[in-house]
Amino acid sequence: MTLPELTAIYPPGTFLAPRLEDPSAKWVPSDLHAVEFMTANLIACAGGFPMLVHKAAMSPDGLELMERCGVNIGSAIETYETPDDYHNALMRRIEDGQTAVFVYPSSVQLPEKKAALVASDCLAHLNNKQNIAQLSGPENIPRRRTIDNGSRDQRDTLVAPIALKIATNEPNAGGLDVAICRRRRHIDRALSRFADAETLIAEELIEAVRNWCVQFAVTADGTVCEIGATEQICIRSGIHAGNLYAVDASPEENVLTIGRSIAEAGSKLGFRGLCGFDILLDRHGKAFVIDLNFRPVSSSAFLYEALRRSNLGTGARFARLAFCRSEGTLAQMIRRCDQGFRDGWIIPLATFEPEFGGLKGGTARMRLMIVADSLKVLHRREQSLAGCGVDFVHMPNRFEQLKHWFRNVI
């Protein structure tokens, strides 16, 4: 399967404006380094599509490593260093007649509507969890009800286990607006964390056997095409910690059918571009939509690269996306992991060197693809990477999966 290039998905004259501009956004990563690193999500599959990316993600050490590992870096990337630099670059392009592809709803005052490919109010509506039933069909979501967070009586009716979510038009990402509550104490913690939210969603907690992120593209004329799917790796609290791609695995037909219908619903409302939807499958084969991301997701470049290498005959049976960080500089992090890069089982999809980007403090970061021809070897390579002093969330092994299942059954 050959995926369409971004220049074929987005109309001519558009450019990616990926930065989260709202400094007061509560339901997305608040760490400045994380905010700036997210702008590099698509550099490994950008091709000739123009985009703004923070300078820290384009350091000489990082670019040399990606080229050495055979990753094709975007050819039309413009770097910026400060939020003001980003805003100036954004407005300069718009004044030159280009159209911005915003990843998050933008608070920038635009000179005219056509300055944005998708209007911010449309993005806000599509990504608000309160509207999932409208877009995917009420029969395709877990049982849920809305809670007025200002009402003590309504909050007291919450009973575990549930998934507690925030209904908001504000930017949201990374699972920071979701809490998996298996015990009453988890609900209490979530209510404390979500104290600033006006409306909550109390959703039936689905014990899933598969957790898919299915991705689609909505092209300029509104046509929907399938991009692919990976399984999601999440920690028990619900925070997303990576993805798993398997050559021989694909979502069940009902998952793909529902995903396509969601993309088509978004297309009718004016969405254009890459999008990805989180769909669970329970042990009875029933599919449940739990989150909609009408924007490029963190695994988009990972899926593109895995499929590209598979088409070239250089891919492995399994690939795992890991969000990694390490104390010290990026150069030091690269040296610690160098054998894995040389042996070809670690592939960098994005790197981040704070000092090069004018950011003080912080740690080096990388988005890495770990590849192997068996899950056993993949787990072993995760252990090797961790032994290099790299921090990331490991995939659960078979024993951990069984323990998790047994705990939930009891």
How far lies 75's CA from each of 42, 54, 79, 237, 391, in Å?
12, 15, 12, 38, 30
Using only C-alpha atoms, what is the Rg of the chain? 21
- Give dist(CA 79, CA 56) in Å, integer: 9
State the pairing for strand pair 51-54/77-80. parallel
Question: To which H or E segment does residue 380 belong?
Answer: helix 375-386
> Tens of pLDDT along 63-84?
999 999 999 999 999 999 999 9
pLDDT for res 405? 47
Q: Give domain limits for the chain.
A: 6-127, 143-204, 208-400
pLDDT for res 312? 87
Considering only CA atoms, which of 67, 72, 47, 10 is closest in space to residue 309?
72
Q: Which value, to the nearest 10 degrees, does the dihedral of the CA atoms of residues 108, 114, 118, 123 take?
A: 40
Report the chain's mean pLDDT, rounded to a whole number.
93
Q: Beta-carbon neighbour count of residue 43 at 10 Å? A: 24
Q: Give the total residue count for the chain.
A: 410
Q: What is the pLDDT along the chain (410 residues), one digit of tens a residue?
A: 789 999 999 999 999 999 998 877 888 888 999 999 999 999 999 999 999 999 999 999 999 999 999 999 999 999 999 999 999 999 999 999 999 999 999 888 888 778 999 999 999 999 999 999 999 999 999 999 999 999 999 999 999 999 999 999 999 987 889 999 999 999 999 999 999 999 999 999 999 999 999 999 999 999 999 999 999 998 877 778 899 999 999 999 999 999 999 999 999 999 999 999 999 999 999 999 999 999 999 999 999 999 999 988 888 999 999 999 999 999 999 999 999 999 999 999 999 999 999 998 889 999 999 999 999 999 999 999 999 999 999 988 654 554 444 454 44
Task: Say if residues 253 and 268 touch (Cβ distance below 8 Å).
Answer: no
Question: To which H or E segment does residue 122 belong?
Answer: helix 120-127
In degrees, rounded to 5, the angle at the alpha carbon of residue 191 between the alpha carbons of residues 187 and 196 is 160
> Tens of pLDDT along 131-156?
999 999 999 999 999 999 999 999 99
Q: Does the model's pTM come out above 0.75?
A: yes
Identify how many contiguous H helices and E strands the chain contains and give both numbers.
14, 16
State the pairing for strand pair 346-352/364-372. antiparallel
- Give dist(CA 226, CA 127) in Å, integer: 19
- Give dist(CA 191, CA 187) in Å, integer: 6
CATH number of 208-400: 3.30.470.20
> Tens of pLDDT along 259-277?
999 999 999 999 999 999 9
Instruction: Judge if the upstream peptide bond of residue 354 is cis by omega within 30 degrees of 0.
Output: no
- Give dist(CA 359, CA 93) in Å, integer: 25
Considering only CA atoms, which of 299, 178, 157, 161 is closest in space to residue 232?
299
Task: Identify the residue whose tokens are 């998708």.
Answer: 118
Tell the burial category of 363 from Cβ atoms under 10 Å away from its Cβ (0-12, 13-18, 19+).
Answer: middle
- Give dist(CA 350, CA 304) in Å, integer: 13
CATH class given for the domain over 143-204:
alpha beta
